[in-house]
Amino acid sequence: MRHDLTDLRLFVNVGETRNLTRAAERTFLSLPAASARIKNMEEGFKARLLVRLATGVSLTPAGEVLLHHARAIFSQLECLNADLQPYTRGVKGRLRLLANTTATNSFLADALSTFLPEHPDVDIELTEKSSVDIVLALRAGAGDLGIVSGTISSDGLDVYPLFRDELAVVTSLTHPLASEPRVQFADLLDHYQFVGIHPDSAIQTFLEDIASGLGKRVNQRVHVGSFEAVCRMVEAGAGIAIVPRACAARYSRPQALKVVPLADEWALRDRLLCRQRGRDLPRFAEDFIQHIMRATQDDPSPL
């Protein structure tokens, strides 16, 4: 059986997109060439790898096995390139980092701003996902490192505690809730309109799921693009918002917002850095783990 790296990269892209056309585009192949390569792999392995559907493709059990090993091969190549970097010039390493909305909008920007200048030969591919999806991606080998909430099951992963954060309600100074010492999320859903970031963000999905479990919905009046914009809209009286306390401190102007704690247990969340258990990572990934742990040591609410 003779399969080159292009074959394996194509199959990884098929596994990630579940669409042969998009996988071919990602691999810089024409659709006929991609189809021919898949057919040659199936003939070489003497096993069917894909099931073609009206909406795309699905992987057979043999295809899932191939996808697992193909990802492992590219992971080993990353390690090879990283270990050879001290002896070469111009070779870039790539770290696939998965993080939820809170991480990407708070401490992570500062951590990356110091890590990247220290590692000019490393590129970071940062993708925002929910904690559940991050865990699934890490288990499948579709990411190198992930930052998740501590409420998520991390079976099969190595876990590094980072810090503890808190979701809180932010209101304008004149809002009726501004004088409350603490509020319940369920009570807010019946009476108030919310400002939030884009609907597909991890934190908005999390809050919608909590509301759905209560048999209610979030009355979302405005969607904006960042926590900073959320704070500005709340200051202007457009509604209330639920944001990480660290983001409220970062993006609100002094004496412009009132932060009201949530009484719900889920509002207090541990943040964890995760990796697939037993998986070798390039040296620069190990360096990043140490860097991000040092960067969060000064958090006001450490674990």
- Over the chain, what is the mean pLDDT? 87
Determine the average pLDDT of the residues in 17-31.
92
User: pLDDT tier at 303 (50, 70, 90 boundaries)?
Assistant: very low
Residue 200 makes CB contacts below 8 A (sequence gap 6+) with none
Render pLDDT for 34-76 as a digit per residue (tens, 0 to 9).
Answer: 999 999 999 989 999 999 898 889 999 999 999 999 988 888 8
- The percent of residues above 70 in pLDDT, for the chain, comes to 94
Residue 189 makes CB contacts below 8 A (sequence gap 6+) with 211, 214, 216, 217, 218, 219
SS3 121: coil
- Residue 76's pLDDT is what? 83
With 0-12 / 13-18 / 19 or more C-beta atoms within 10 angstroms meaning exposed / middle / buried, residue 91 is exposed
- The percent of residues above 90 in pLDDT, for the chain, comes to 47
- Residue 147's pLDDT is what? 92
Measured CA to CA, the distance from residue 56 to residue 62 in angstroms comes to 18
Answer whether 143's CB lies under 8 Å from 96's CB.
yes
- Residue 302's pLDDT is what? 35
Q: Is the pLDDT of residue 254 over 70?
A: no
Determine the average pLDDT of the residues in 248-261.
82
Higher pLDDT, 222 or 82: 222
91 half-sphere exposure, CB direction, 13 A CA radius: 14
- Residue 122's pLDDT is what? 87
With 0-12 / 13-18 / 19 or more C-beta atoms within 10 angstroms meaning exposed / middle / buried, residue 45 is middle
User: pLDDT tier at 149 (50, 70, 90 boundaries)?
Assistant: confident
- Residue 300's pLDDT is what? 42
SS3 197: strand
- Residue 301's pLDDT is what? 42
What domains lie within the chain, and their CATH numbers? 5-74 (1.10.10.10), 92-303 (3.40.190.290)
- Residue 182's pLDDT is what? 94
Render pLDDT for 90-133 as a digit per residue (tens, 0 to 9).
Answer: 557 788 999 987 788 778 888 899 999 998 888 898 998 888 88
Ranking 132-136, 177-181, 211-215 by mean pLDDT, the lowest is 132-136
- Bridge partners, 94 (sequence order): 123
